[in-house]
Structure 1
Amino acid sequence: MTKRAIDRIPTRDDISIKQAVEKWLDAYRLRRKFDVSSIVNAWPEIIGPYIAKRTLQIYVKDKKLFVKVESAVVKHELTIRRRQIVGRVNEHVGQVIVEDVVIL
């Protein structure tokens, strides 16, 4: 009786899908773009729904997170919470990708 490949027990050489994707991102130098898109997609979770709805644009350049908002009140709130935002963004990604926040 032969065993099918699907029934075999994983060995040490087998890697998880997560590890395979991480290796692929590193090999093709896509890690940074992936992390930035992850920040943009998770912005409502990171900052909260009220401010996320009033955010017009988000992008990362030279380790700075640029956030364009629609009102002076939201801009003031983000300015006050600048250090907290940096911490939450880096915590979400799992590494230091943002060192400062610029509110536009």
Structure 2
Amino acid sequence: MRDNQEVKIGDLIRRFYKDNDKEDFIEEMKMINSWEKVVGKFIASHTLSLHVKDKVLYVRVDADSLRSELMFSKSLLIKNLNKIADKQIITNIVVK
């Protein structure tokens, strides 16, 4: 028999990630998608790549001066990114 109960697609996706021990994946993607909002258009336009692994955000930029600026602002960036997720997803940032 089929269950005719309606379920939102977002709820199904969250359940899938939770059941597969990837519960933070959606929050990580939210953070990456909010990068421009957090750092501004200029830095975002010079960001080559972003990815999260083991609670560390890896950022690649195309200028040494931006690398220094991001490292100087690291704790504020971590705070603002985690605020998007409403929990601590990122514990460190590595800028290359």
> 2:74 aligns to what?
82
User: Could you tell me how far apart the structure 2 residues matched to 1:68 and 1:82 are?
Assistant: 14
> Is structure 2 residue 90 aligned with structure 1 residue 102?
no
Q: CA deviation at 1:40?
A: 1.3
Please say if 1:37 is aligned against 2:37: no
How far apart are the structure 2 equivalents of 1:43 and 1:83?
15
When the two structures are superposed, what TM-score results if normalisation uses the length of structure 2? 0.79
Runs of 4+ aligned structure 1 residues displaced above 4 Å come to 19-25, 27-30
Q: Residue type of the partner of 1:82?
A: K
Distance 1:30 1:88 in 2: 22
Secondary structure, in 3 states, of the residue corresponding to 1:34? helix
Rounded to whole Å, the distance in 2 between the matches of 1:48 and 1:35 is 20
TM-aligned CA deviation for residue 90 of structure 1: 0.3
Matched, 1:57 2:57: no
In 2, Cα distance between equivalents of 1:24 and 1:61: 19
3-state DSSP class of the match of 1:31? coil
Query: Using the alignment, how far apart are the partners of 1:73 and 1:23 within structure 2?
Result: 42
Deviation at 1:27, TM superposition (A): 4.3
Q: 1:65-89: CA deviations, max 9, x gaps?
A: 1100000010010011000010011
Q: Which has the larger radius of gyration?
A: 1
List gaps (5 residues or longer) in structure 1: 1-16
Q: Give the Cα separation in 2 of the matches to 1:46 and 1:28.
A: 29
Higher relative contact order (CA 8 A, sep 6+): 2
How far apart in 2 are the matches of 1:28 and 1:57?
26
Q: Quote the residue 1:4 is aligned against.
A: none
